[in-house]
Chains A and B, each alone.
Chain A
Amino acid sequence: MLLYYFRLAMLSIKKTPLLSFLMIATIAVGIAATMVTYTVNYMMSQDPVPGKSERLFTVHLSSWDPNMGYRIKDGKEDIPIFMTYQDATNLYADKKAHKQTIISFHKAMVRGAEQPSGQATMTYLRPTTHEFFSMLDVPFLYGSPWTEYDDSQGSMVVVLSKKKNEQLFQGQNSLGQEVIIGGSIYRVIGVLDDWLPLPRFYTENSDAYSEPRGLFFPFQSSINNDWFSGTDGSVYCWGGVDLIDLDAVKASECVWLFYWVELESAELRNEYLAYINSYAQEQRELGRFQREQMNRVMNVAEFIEYNEVVKKDGRIAVWLAAAFLIACLLNSMSLMMTKFHGKGAEVGLRRAVGASKVDIARQFFCETLIIGLSGGVIGLALAQLGLHITAQVYSYLHSELMDMNLSLMLLTIGLSVLSSALFGLYPIYRACQIQPSSQLKSL
């Protein structure tokens, strides 16, 4: 019987091609607009380290000026999301967490050792510690991260991103090759595979949707090289510091380093926070940390939320798109009512020859499903087009943000079918209420 209903639905759609086209087009446009907006927002809101984000925490300390708060956020005093050099290295040396890493920034001219100096390009760099890779589940194409020993010695070793390896070494296995970074020779010990944590949660929100930096090397080596630059990252200071002098910065209360820890379980969070508070108390006794203590640890989801990585505007856009979809569906609903009303005589006839109201409802429900499915398929194609155009317009954002995965594609079709079915219920109900006796003279 279901096949019969679908056959009738197809005949009905063919019988009123313009009306059917308008219904399908209305749904398709609404679905496309919603899914373009939702896809971008969804991809921005993905869990960047699935299975681990509950156990990764960034540590924030109340180390700021006792005479003036750091900043006001949501009407309350807030503390820095960065850490001073002395606190980061103290906590790192303590190794109280399962794993911990310091994340810094720098930029310098970079080229392969075989390349002429004229081919050097200004490159954003990521000085960090060896745990960074295992904590963030970074995949390697060749080689491996450096060791704890390299960290302690500040070894001149470097891990390249896949893209940077393609730029410098045409994508070849470059292990053992040399790279000149800011005039210093570094040896390649690892090349990353494709790696794009979206959002890139571990630093500032302005970097959240751009590609990861191309070179990673031991934090200590950047210190050994006296590398410090306030131009490609944030450095906030109080107490008068000469930012040209790295030793002065290291000894100062300037905050500029991100500090992340991995705990063995999310339940150990409070225990770790107690350790942080106890560290802060020790520092207070040494004359630092004189403001009210608001030290905190935030897991990945909390930091993404706090850091406003996903802008509220994006969520509002999704709501607006959903409202637009509802407007489209209401429009489609009115077209359905017109269409089903026009089939009153057929309803009357079918009722007369033995169809119950349920039979009529099933017949029209199949029609709304086909309309919804068609709207979904066309909407999916329009959404792909919309995402392609969006990717062109916002070319500074990573193109993966504009890619629908399979589940989003299925969601598009499902949403279209479901919403069409839902908004078709009232027209179907009205059609079922048609009195057959009033229609039998009008077929």
Chain B
Amino acid sequence: MLKMSNIAKIYLTDTVKTQALQPFNLDIKAGEFVAVVGPSGSGKTTFLNITGLLEDYSEGSYFLNDQDVTDLSDRQKSRLRNEQIGFIFQSFNLIPELNLFDNVEMPLRYRKFSAKERKNRVVDALTKVGLVNRQAHYPQQLSGGQQQRVAIARALAGSPSFLLADEPTGNLDSSMADGIMSLLKDINTAGTSILMVTHDLQQAAKADRIVEIRDGVLTENESINQVVA
């Protein structure tokens, strides 16, 4: 589903060249739940941005569902993001002046769905996260855990191939975090691949596989995987 070969990222300024990510290979199959761990500043967010087509890479090749994304235009990348990738962020990133329905509907607005189709999808997605009866509420009327559920509904509404979750439980207490992880696990079990960045090894352990990034070097962490197994 996702195949990266020799991907590297270098930031260049007039005087400084920073190798944010050393060349790496990564292959994620459909239905996999992969956790990416590593300390702050190790390159996890850069990796996530490249994977989510939010940032260009300096070298290598990246195939998403057999499509080479290297030379895609801004519009093509936007469309691919919209159709194939669902984003979940640590700080939920809900728009405060839009109610839950409108927040979840947002990605669908950039696709040529009819109003009826959009409504069906939003209701389905909110039903999956258990918030369909609060669709007219605004984000600030919800708890953190509920807000993250709305964000997950937004990510799911477009039926993406995989979810990219950046520290999805980072802003939640442990009971809410467990609830979110349980929800993600259910989504994964239903067939959606998940790539989750976290520094919480306990949450990472719930994934099928763990990848570690340290000082820009991405490695399959066998020892952790053994622990997880």
Annotate B102-124 by CB proximity to A: 1 below 8 A, 0 otherwise.
00001101110000000000000
Assess whether B89 is in contact with A355, with CB atoms less than 8 Å apart.
Answer: no
The residues of B that contact A440 with a CB separation of less than 8 Å are 54, 87, 89, 93, 166
**The 7 A-B residue pairs with the shortest CB-CB distance in the complex, in nearest-first order:** A354-B82, A353-B107, A356-B78, A437-B49, A354-B110, A437-B54, A443-B93
- Bound Cα distance from A440 to B49, whole angstroms: 10
Summed over the interface, the residue pairs from A and B with CB atoms below 8 Å come to a total of 71
Assess whether A11 is in contact with B91, with CB atoms less than 8 Å apart.
Answer: no
Can you pick out 19 interface pairs between chain A and chain B where the beta carbons lie within 8 Å of each other? A1-B109, A11-B98, A346-B95, A349-B93, A349-B95, A351-B78, A352-B81, A353-B82, A354-B78, A354-B111, A356-B74, A356-B75, A356-B79, A357-B75, A359-B78, A440-B54, A443-B92, A443-B93, A443-B94
Assess whether A350 is in contact with B106, with CB atoms less than 8 Å apart.
Answer: yes
The residues of B that contact A351 with a CB separation of less than 8 Å are 54, 78
B90 interface residue per 8 A CB criterion: yes
Given contacts A350-B106, A440-B87, A441-B90, 17 further A-B contacts (CB under 8 A): A4-B109, A11-B97, A11-B98, A12-B97, A345-B93, A349-B106, A351-B54, A352-B54, A352-B81, A353-B81, A353-B106, A353-B107, A356-B110, A435-B55, A437-B55, A440-B54, A440-B89
Most buried by A among B52, B83, B107, B110: B110
The residues of B that contact A355 with a CB separation of less than 8 Å are 78, 110
User: B32 CB to closest chain A CB, in angstroms?
Assistant: 22
- Bound Cα distance from A355 to B109, whole angstroms: 9
| Chain B interfacial positions (CB closer than 8 Å to A) | 45, 49, 52, 54-55, 74-75, 78-79, 81-83, 87, 89-95, 97-98, 106-107, 109-111, 154, 158, 166
Say yes or no: A443-B110 contact (C-beta < 8 A), given A11-B97, A356-B78: no
- Bound Cα distance from A86 to B180, whole angstroms: 106
Closest chain B residue, CB of each to CB of A360:
B78
- Bound Cα distance from A15 to B55, whole angstroms: 30
- Bound Cα distance from A352 to B154, whole angstroms: 12
Say yes or no: A14-B107 contact (C-beta < 8 A), given A354-B78, A355-B78, A437-B54: no
- Bound Cα distance from A223 to B92, whole angstroms: 94
Closest chain A residue, CB of each to CB of B112:
A1
Closest chain B residue, CB of each to CB of A436:
B54
- Bound Cα distance from A352 to B166, whole angstroms: 13
Closest chain B residue, CB of each to CB of A359:
B110
Annotate A8-52 by CB proximity to B: 1 below 8 A, 0 otherwise.
000110110000000000000000000000000000000000000
